[in-house]
A and B are shown apart, each in its own frame.
Chain A
Amino acid sequence: MSMIQSMKNAVRSRSIHVSYVNVGSCNGCDIEILAVLAPRYDIEQYGIYVHNNPREADILLITGAFTPQWEDKLESIWNKIPEPKAAIAIGNCPISGCVFNRRGSFVDPPVAKHIPIAAEVPGCPPRPTEILNAVLSLAPVVFKDYEEKKA
């Protein structure tokens, strides 16, 4: 491993910026993501910062079944995130549409049809610890040795 790669690995392991986007959720998963910020779960002790700004994000958390308004917007948000990046689907909605995926509704799940999803956390809503666990276990897989794996 080159020296610059090991330096990048060290920096990236303690500096993960998270952004979240609600593409038609009921807010249940969003408030569980917010609860992760609370001192009880304390996401920042792992070096993860929730900024909700796609341009400086590494990981995008997606909640909600996919609504028509996000057809072009979600992809443009995804394109704004600099490499290396990963998207995590939080809750049942982005995976299957949950209770909203019925005849007559406007949703178009799964979100994986629209942007690549790296991990899925099922639950309606998942517990804050599960969300935290997903971010923590996905981060090393995506960010470690990113340049060497690409080359």
Chain B
Amino acid sequence: MKKVVDVSLPIGPLHPCFKEPARIKCETRGEFVLSAEVELGYVKKGIERIMRGRPWQEVMFLAERICGICSVIHNMTFIETVEQLSDIAVPDRAALLRVVVNELDRIQSHVLANFSYCYTIEHETLAMYLLNLRETAMDMLELITGARVTCAYMIPGGVRFDLRPEDRQTLERSLTHIDTEIARFTAMFKNGPLIGLRSRGIGILTREAALEAHAVGPTARASGIAEDMRLRHPTYRKLGFEPVVYTEGDNYARIMVRFDEVRQSIRLIQTCLEMLPEGLIRGGGSVVAGEATYVGEAPRGELTYFVKTDDYGRIVDISVQTPSIMNIEACAHYMLTGVTSAADVTSTFISADPCVACTER
């Protein structure tokens, strides 16, 4: 009689599919995954320890180096926390320009996440199309902010550079290009039979499980939870923002949420450009003593900053909660349990878009 042996299957920390080091330990029976555990701690640098006692001018640059993929939202959330605790008002033009840059960052982050997923399920054609499209979004970020990754575009009371009229035309043309291309790639993803075979019904996170695991961001929205921190942001409220929700909760839904959010971001930027008033991009104001908690919506979910400052604008205490830690745990305990093949473990893990650098800081 054939003996069934329980196998402990370690994946990582260095794995061809992973951009970052993380270790997944799976307990399997044959190829059926019984349970999984994610081991972290490979990129722990202690950024919050360095931040304490430094002036905000330094912490601003440290904050955006928490994560290289979503550096703009870390910058934006930190600056808006500081603005909240010192009552600094932002001019209308600057508030809208912040949304433009933040949504461009979201576009490149979501396209990169979908690239990683397509690369993991070995659909290299679509992956390369997406990676090439991402370069257009990166060019636009560079055009507006002057840097590809670490932009440091936002400062308390405004933004650093204005959008010039000729740049605005280039931006509008690029957005139209991204829009038509993303529509084509979404159709490729939707109708590809092999993609469907590897994505539909795999790594299911039900609504109940998502609530229990406190999943956030696109992972939660793919499981039918209509929660998005942009709904509470004053500028986004003016733009008439509605979250994208899917109810299937599988790998397919998570990728489709990101595709739809890319197109939604393009609409948001276009609305911003239409509404963009003339005027100042920097107001006044200085950072005073106080403490505040502020929540922003990163490409991966809600990002919380707690900041406490003293009279000289130095950071006395700071703590950051990043979205990926919730999604990684939701992935380990709910999505990976019951995955029928070891080949789907990596693709399910990547579909939750884990950002290990964010998580460990």
CB pair B131–A37 under 8 Å, yes or no, is yes
CA distance A31 to B137 in the complex (A): 14
Which of B1-26 touch A at CB < 8 Å? 13-16, 18-21
- Also in contact, A104 and B135, with CB within 8 A (given A25-B43, A30-B19, A67-B42): no
- Also in contact, A25 and B357, with CB within 8 A (given A39-B132, A125-B149): yes
CB pair B148–A127 under 8 Å, yes or no, is yes
Interface majority SS (helix, strand, loop, mixed), chain A: loop
When each residue 105-143 of chain A gets 1 if its CB lies under 8 Å from chain B and 0 otherwise, what string results? 111000000000000000011010000000000000000
Q: In angstroms, how far is the closest chain A Cβ from the Cβ of B18?
A: 8
Which of B231-283 touch A at CB < 8 Å? none
When each residue 65-78 of chain B gets 1 if its CB lies under 8 Å from chain A and 0 otherwise, what string results? 11111010000000
B32 within 8 A of A: no
CA distance A150 to B317 in the complex (A): 55
When each residue 57-93 of chain A gets 1 if its CB lies under 8 Å from chain B and 0 otherwise, what string results? 0000000110101100100010000000000000000
CA distance A67 to B65 in the complex (A): 16
CA distance A26 to B15 in the complex (A): 18
CB pair A35–B135 under 8 Å, yes or no, is yes
Chain A residues with Cβ under 8 A from B42's Cβ?
Answer: 22-24, 67, 69-70
- Also in contact, A25 and B68, with CB within 8 A (given A34-B112, A39-B128, A77-B14): yes
CB pair A40–B135 under 8 Å, yes or no, is yes
Which of A1-55 touch B at CB < 8 Å? 19, 21-32, 34-35, 37-40, 51-54
B143 within 8 A of A: no
B295 within 8 A of A: no
Chain A residues with Cβ under 8 A from B192's Cβ?
Answer: none
Q: In angstroms, how far is the closest chain A Cβ from the Cβ of B271?
A: 28
User: Which residue of the partner chain, among A27, A34, A103, A125, contacts B355 with CB atoms under 8 Å?
Assistant: A27
Q: In angstroms, how far is the closest chain A Cβ from the Cβ of B117?
A: 13
User: Which residue of the partner chain, among A31, A37, A102, contacts B50 with CB atoms under 8 Å?
Assistant: A102
CA distance A51 to B71 in the complex (A): 27
A146 within 8 A of B: no
Chain B residues with Cβ under 8 A from A32's Cβ?
Answer: 148-149
- Also in contact, A24 and B148, with CB within 8 A (given A34-B19, A35-B138): no
Number of interface residues of A (CB under 8 A): 42
When each residue 132-173 of chain B gets 1 if its CB lies under 8 Å from chain A and 0 otherwise, what string results? 101100100000000011100000000000000000000000
Chain B residues with Cβ under 8 A from A100's Cβ?
Answer: 45, 47, 50, 65
Q: Which of B62, B65, B112 has the most CB of A within 10 A?
A: B65
Chain A residues with Cβ under 8 A from B135's Cβ?
Answer: 35, 38, 40
CB pair A31–B112 under 8 Å, yes or no, is yes
B193 within 8 A of A: no
B44 within 8 A of A: yes
When each residue 22-56 of chain B gets 1 if its CB lies under 8 Å from chain A and 0 otherwise, what string results? 00000000000000000001111111011010000
A-B contacts besides A31-B68, A65-B45, 19 pairs, CB < 8 Å: A22-B19, A27-B357, A27-B358, A28-B68, A31-B19, A34-B131, A35-B134, A35-B138, A37-B131, A38-B132, A52-B14, A54-B14, A67-B45, A73-B13, A98-B65, A99-B61, A99-B65, A105-B49, A107-B45
26 contacts between A and B (CB under 8 A): A19-B14, A21-B14, A22-B42, A24-B44, A24-B45, A25-B357, A27-B355, A28-B71, A34-B19, A35-B131, A35-B134, A38-B135, A40-B135, A52-B18, A70-B42, A77-B14, A99-B62, A100-B45, A100-B50, A100-B65, A103-B50, A104-B49, A105-B46, A105-B49, A125-B148, A127-B148
